[in-house]
Structure 1
Amino acid sequence: MSAAERLPSWSPFEQLREGRDIIRLEAEALNDIAKRLDAEFCTAVEMIAGCRGSVIVCGMGKAGLIGQKITATLSSTGTRAHFLHPAEAVHGDLGCLHSDDVLLAFSNSGETEELVQILPTLDRLGVPTIAVTSTDRNTLAEHAAVTIRYGQVQEACPWGLAPSTSTTAMLAIGDALALVVSRMNGFTPQQFAVFHPAGSLGRRLKTVAEIMRPLDQLRVSPQTATVREVFTGMALPGRRSGASILVDEQGRLQGLFTDSDLARLLERRQDQLFDRPISEVMTRQPLCIKSDETFAQVVDLLSERKISELPVVDSAQRPVGMIDITDVIGWLPATQGQ
């Protein structure tokens, strides 16, 4: 009989029950940890927010993997951070530390041998430590300037051995530290976009200025011009936008006239309006957007208002470009358009 044949058979119901129990156990632990956060958390936030150097994140094994994720979260939300592997640290990598840095150390027991080994060097270099650990009665906590304790949690592993609930606790506390610091420092979506230029996230965070059609590719006419003059008096290179921007004497946006508006005049046999001022048939005070808004906001506006063209204006309401829905479709991830 093979090893697989000797294993008990679990029905889908039993699999779901076990999976839900594990998630529920970890969720309950996180709820307790949230209630337990105290002034030590606030002190840690102040230390990270006021750090003049880098936040050096440290952890071994599963705690180290959590530390690497928190390093990435800190970096992407405006806090300079690097991960230091404890085993490599004692073989020369401690040279990356500076007295302006802050060490953020993760260890459930607080007695991780490789981590404990570097503590005396941290003292000599004057690098303060924030410990994220289960209790304040261990070597790491006793050394640290600040200790965030999450308590003696029950691991979700049936034998209570595999790090699971404890690493979930570390992850949640690390995220809380990183995001509270980010909020305190006034980190903005525009700054976030600088650190995420690629992928669907980077695409959503691009600014309108990066994706709009510039003014020299658009029909911009005075609102006093006739419909015929607007459509016959300006030939543009490249792909034609489906809308004309109408402005006043000061160059401020006054209206929009689209190909659909033109089609309606033809359908209604209102040819006589072709030689009337376009201001009589244009859409007045059209919805517009500023150039520093994000691509995600553009998609929301076009979808909610069911429009195809969106003028881009400056602070004085002068047009600087246009968002055309055909361009937006080209920027959407392939799966989103399906």
Structure 2
Amino acid sequence: MSTTPEHTLFSSLQQLALAVIDTELAAVAALKTRIDAHFVTACQRMLACEGRVVVLGMGKSGHIGGKIAATLASTGTPAFFVHPGEASHGDLGMITSKDVVLALSNSGETEEILTILPLIRRLHVPLIAMTGNPHSTLAQQAEVHLDVSVAREACPLGLAPTASTTTALVMGDALAIALLEQRGFSAEDFARSHPGGRLGKRLLLRVQDLMHRDPHVPKVSHHVTLAQALTEMSAKGLGMTAIVDAEQHVLGVFTDGDLRRALDKPLDIHAVRVTEVMTCPCKTIAADALAVDALSVMERHKINGLLVTEPNNRLIGALNMHDLLRAGVV
């Protein structure tokens, strides 16, 4: 069977991509033997740091260094990235005697980093090097060296940093997660540093942050007719209204779903009282409950809104699915 040019191209590209993955998998697997005393010492220096972990790197190592700094910072280890070229032109002032420096260079001979090594030593800060050459100048001058060398790059020319940048990134992740565990960093801590993210919203936002309050809460007295309840529902636009007694205690709720069920029966909406067609008892939630818990209640009971009450069942707010959608909780 003859092969088409398209099939040949597909096969060639597929094989090249698989070769890259195999090369990088092997490079990452080789790191397992390098999680040793040097790695532990690097973690100890970072744990003992009273300032911040300052990450240095040029070129592709700089991109990886920026990612490592961001991962450290978001997992409980204060860190930031400094461009070595800028460091010798004023940015070195960002490094203090309480910091730890993590310098990345695959060759270990990056000129911009070597230029500022005397200044770093003068500050007496711990220097952790992450290189692909244990015999390099940077590796030899560092207090701790992390070996991220690779047998070969995934690039067929052996030129473009590929496997080497992957191993450096993985080693950085290993440092960050090891430190996270030692610090007892929790999901709530992560959420506090990511308040705008989905996890942050799910772990930090509470019902009281989203609920409708005071005049915006749909509510009617238990004496009113169904027609009056419908007027209140339309005015507040939440697809429901609470039915309360004189002390504002919740007696029940009337929703769009209750309306559909009520209209299946012959009734006079101007004569029947809302208490005859309301849902009672109804689902409520506390103001200090997490918004994600409110979502869970709505999904579990297949409802689109909740009344918010105090412990004595007094009405203080209302929340519906649209509020959760707008806040990014859903």
Per the shorter chain, which TM-score range? 0.7 to 0.9
Q: Percent identity?
A: 36
Counterparts of 1:145 and 1:250 in 2: how far apart (Å)?
70
Match of 1:150 among 139, 148, 151: 148
Matches for 1:143-222 after TM superposition, within 5 Å: 143-189=141-187, 191-193=189-191, 195-196=193-194, 207-208=205-206, 209-220=208-219
Q: Is the 8 A contact 2:240 2:256 kept in 1?
A: yes
Question: What's the CA shift for 1:196?
Answer: 4.4
Match of residue 259 from structure 2: 262
Give the drift of 1:11: 0.6
Q: Distance in 1 between matches of 2:183 and 2:313?
A: 31
CA distance in 2, matches of 1:283, 1:40: 65
Q: Is 1:307 paired with 2:303?
A: yes
Partner residue in 1 for 2:69 = 71
Structure 1 residue 227 displacement after superposition? 6.8
| Conservation of the 8 A alpha-carbon contact between 2:150 and 2:163 | no
**The one of 35, 38, 43 aligned to 2:36:** 38
Moved more, 306-315 or 65-74: 306-315
Kindly report the root-mean-square deviation, in angstroms, between the aligned alpha carbons of the 2 structures. 4.0
Q: Are 2:133 and 1:113 equivalent residues in the alignment?
A: no
Q: Deviations over 1:245-273 (max 9, x none)?
A: 46799977775442212331231346699
Show the counterpart of 1:282: 279
Task: Please list, as runs of the form range in 1=range in 2, the aligned pairs for 1:78-97 lying within 5 A after superposition.
Answer: 78-97=76-95
SS at match of 1:57: strand
* Aligned 8 A contact 1:289 1:310 in 2: no
Letter aligned with residue 237 of structure 2? R
Instruction: State TM-score, norm by structure 2.
Output: 0.77
* Residue equivalent to 1:5: none
Q: How far off its partner does 1:58 sit?
A: 0.2
CA distance in 1, matches of 2:47, 2:211: 36
SS in 2 for 1:131: strand
Indicate the SS of the match to 1:267.
coil
SS of the equivalent of 1:52 reads: coil
The one-character-per-residue Cα deviations of 1:269-318 (angstroms, maximum 9, x if unpaired) are: 4669944746x8525362747646356x7666655654311445678876
Task: Tell whether the 8 Å contact from 1:217 to 1:237 is kept in structure 2 after alignment.
Answer: no
SS in 1 for 2:16: helix
How far, CA to CA, are the matches of 2:291 and 2:44 in structure 1? 31
Question: How many angstroms does 1:79 deviate by?
Answer: 3.3
Give the drift of 1:87.
2.1
| 2:319 counterpart residue number | 323
Taking the aligned partners of 1:97 and 1:299, their CA distance within structure 2 comes to: 45
Q: Given residue 218 of structure 2, which amino acid in structure 1 is its aligned partner?
A: R
Change (3 A) 1:293 1:90: same
Change (3 A) 1:317 1:64: farther
Partner letter of residue 319 of structure 2? Answer: I
Q: Partners in 2 of 1:49 and 1:313 — Cα distance?
A: 45
What is residue 125 of structure 1 aligned with on the other side? 123
Q: Secondary structure at the match of 1:148?
A: strand
Q: Distance in 2 between matches of 1:299 and 1:151?
A: 48
Q: 1:130: how far off? A: 1.8
Aligned to 1:14: 12
TM-score (ref. length: structure 1): 0.75
| Separation in 1, partners of 2:241, 2:224 | 10
Query: Would you say how many aligned residue pairs link Structure 1 and Structure 2?
Result: 322
Gaps of 5+ in 1: 1-8
Structure 1 match to 2:3: none
Structure 1 SS opposite 2:102: strand
Change (3 A) 1:233 1:329: closer
Report the Cα offset of residue 147 of structure 1.
Answer: 2.4
Structure 2, unmatched stretches of 5+, are 1-6
